[in-house]
Amino acid sequence: MNVNTERVKTAAVTASLAAWLVATAAAQLPETRFDTILWCGKLRIPTPNWRFFGPNPGVKDCHLLYRDVTDGKPGEWQEITVTRNRPWYALAWNARNRSPKALFDAIQGIRARAAAAGSEMAPVVWSPGYRLLSRYIQQHLPHAEGASHCQFLLMHSYLTAPDHRQIEPFFVSEEMPLAGAGMSHPETLPVAA
């Protein structure tokens, strides 16, 4: 009997990849019964867990606000638009989403670090997200003339009734010094390539 070893290898690899694809799809279902079969059973197939159907959908909107401090007096809070309207081709190519995604990830990192640190500010101030946001606000946003410091505020908002939105501040930064008076940077978001 003449067996073509290349065909056997190709069939084995194809079958293995197909089985792993099916196992990965089964591991993404909302029900977790397949998780115990895949991870705790005799098979122990390592599958990623991306959950196509999020078990805890997002119900809160994030808001980033900043204000300038001039002569020791804080100004009005101004909201920074974190997301932009998406063009029709953004489903396939959305390079402009990199900057808002970086800001969103920084906000989420600060939220997690602030929750873990409690009232202690130092772990939050040294986090990458805080440093990114502080530099972004100091260097890329317009500031009032004569402002010596700036500050940012992070808030959540969510609908509690059809016409009522509840707002929940969860972090206020330290006052951060500005490099020089009269800084003007017209862009509100860095432009992605």
The pLDDT assigned to 187 comes to: 43
Q: How much is the pLDDT for 108?
A: 84
Q: Express each pLDDT in 15-70 by its tens digit.
A: 999 988 888 777 777 666 666 666 655 666 666 666 555 556 667 788 899 999 99
Instruction: Report d(CA 38, CA 36) in Å as an integer.
Output: 6
List Cβ neighbours of 49 (8 Å cut-off, separation of 6 or more).
27, 28, 35
Q: What percent of the chain has pLDDT over 90?
A: 24
The pLDDT > 70 percentage for the chain reads: 71
With beta carbons less than 8 A apart as the criterion, state whether 94 and 86 touch: yes
Mean pLDDT of the chain: 78
Query: What confidence tens digit (pLDDT) does each residue in 87-108 have?
Result: 777 777 766 666 777 778 888 8
Summarize the confidence of residues 73-82 as an average pLDDT.
88
DSSP track, 16-65: HHHHHHHHHHHHTSS--HHHHHHHHSSS--------SS-SS----EEEEE
- For the ranges 35-39, 78-82, 96-100, 169-173, the maximum mean pLDDT occurs at 169-173
- The predicted model scores a pTM of 0.60
